[in-house]
Amino acid sequence: MADRHTAGITSMVANKKLLVLPGDGIGPEVMGEVRRVIDWMDRRRAVTFEVSEGLVGGAAYDAGGTALSDETMADAAASDAVLLGAVGGPKWADVPRVHRPEAGLLRLRKEMDLFANLRPALVFDALVDASTLKPEVVRGLDILILRELTGGVYFGQPRGVETLPDGSERGVDTQVYTTGEVERILRVGFDLAKKRRNKVTSVEKSNVMETGAMWRKIATRVAAEEFPDVEFDHMLADNCAMQLIRDPHQFDVIVTDNLFGDMLSDEAAMMTGSLGMLPSASLSAMDATSGRRHALYEPVHGSAPDIAGQNKANPLATLLSFGMMLRYSFDMAEDADLVEAAVQDVLGSGLRTADIAASGDEVVSTTRMGEALVEALDRRAA
């Protein structure tokens, strides 16, 4: 193994080009622990990662005046997968919107056409009591929110704020969807449901919004014509927010637009006990000729500036995002299972970062969690 990097050997190994973008706040800390696991995989499993690192968000703005440089954008597009930490923080609150940390993330999503955002919400047995909901409501929960990520009000034109003659302002954002955009996200949802519990709930506001009524009409057609064997229903977004808390087990795959998906996925994430546990994958369509797709993996949580630099953050959401990368980009289901099993092991042994600790639990640091994960992997692979 040791000599696989020597000339001639490298070309025989299927290298996986991986771009790591730690970002801001707790991003670099949690990514540091995930890097340990990536290194472990590199040493111990039949895989070689060619890892490079870049700047995104406020870190990129501080270094170069923009939240994502053209070079980093090009690196991302040329990578097999991108792993991102988190972006944003109060430090950049007054930076113009086009340079805000979030703009870097939105550019990555848009330019790589990452329209399908998978946000699983899974309640680990060991964490049932960390949820603010009753254990009987959340125990065993395993749902998937599929969020449309490159359309809707996040990108619709026109947008902006104009000053009116009387000196007051008028702000505009625009919700836009095309038939093709709605069809393709629904198809991903149905395909995913077939590998799960075979149920899709399409969520919009068809009672109020034009795009919502159009979405519902398209969903009805796609379901009937292309996926007659998948259980299917519609739900209004406000009702969905309520039903998620009342009885989340009624859902399997929820397919929804960019803005509703943003909100419902935060809600679903919190039901699992902590935003610090939830991974996500953002995928483009498969290129028919190359068989490749762009992919970006990131935790659902943000940069948590209040605890940044304190070695307190939970690295598990970013680690589980790496696990999703193994599964969806690299077809390495066994290795993905191993990562998930290591997470179960550390939780099972009682280790908790502050965000998932109940009173009486021993609270561990970010780095201790990372060490424990590597120990768990060692034990599993022994």
Positions touching Mg ion (CB under 5 A) are: 262
> What are the start-end ranges of the E strands in the chain?
15-23, 48-53, 81-86, 116-122, 142-148, 160-163, 169-172, 199-204, 231-236, 253-256, 279-283, 295-299
Nearest approach, Cβ of residue 343 and Mg ion (Å): 22
Backbone angles phi, psi at 336, to 5 degrees: -65, -40
Site for ligand IPM in 98-117 (CB under 6 A): 102, 105
Q: Is 154 a catalytic residue?
A: yes
Nearer to Mg ion, 40 or 92 (CB): 92
CB atoms within 10 A of CB 119: 23
Nearest approach, Cβ of residue 102 and ligand IPM (Å): 4
Nearest approach, Cβ of residue 262 and Mg ion (Å): 4
Binding to ligand IPM by CB under 6 A, coded x per residue (else -) over 13-52, reads ----------------------------------------
Closest CA to 305 of 93, 32, 34: 93
Site for ligand IPM in 245-264 (CB under 6 A): 262
Q: Is 205 a catalytic residue?
A: yes
Nearer to ligand IPM, 79 or 265 (CB): 265
Please tell me the distance from the alpha carbon of residue 138 to that of residue 142, in angstroms, as a whole number.
9
Site for ligand IPM in 159-218 (CB under 6 A): none
Nearest approach, Cβ of residue 5 and ligand IPM (Å): 36
Are 118 and 132 within 8 A, CB to CB? Answer: no
Q: Is 262 a catalytic residue?
A: yes
- Selecting among 24, 257, 262, 345, the annotated active-site residue is 262
Please tell me the distance from the alpha carbon of residue 105 to that of residue 57, in angstroms, as a whole number.
7
Q: Is 233 a catalytic residue?
A: no
Nearest approach, Cβ of residue 105 and ligand IPM (Å): 6
- Selecting among 238, 247, 306, 378, the annotated active-site residue is 238
Cβ contacts of 231 within 8 Å, gap of 6 or more: 198, 199, 200, 252
**SS3 category, 228:** coil
Q: Is 257 a catalytic residue?
A: no
Q: Is the dihedral of CA 56, 62, 64, 65 positive or negative?
A: positive
Q: Which residue is nearest to ligand IPM (CB)?
A: 102
Determine how β-strand 253-256 pairs with β-strand 199-204.
parallel
248 binds, among ligand IPM, Mg ion, none (CB under 5 to 8 A by kind): none
Determine how β-strand 295-299 pairs with β-strand 116-122.
unpaired
Instruction: Kindly list the residues in this chain that would bind ligand IPM in the complex (CB under 6 A).
Output: 88, 102, 105, 262
Residues classed as catalytic: 154, 205, 238, 262, 266
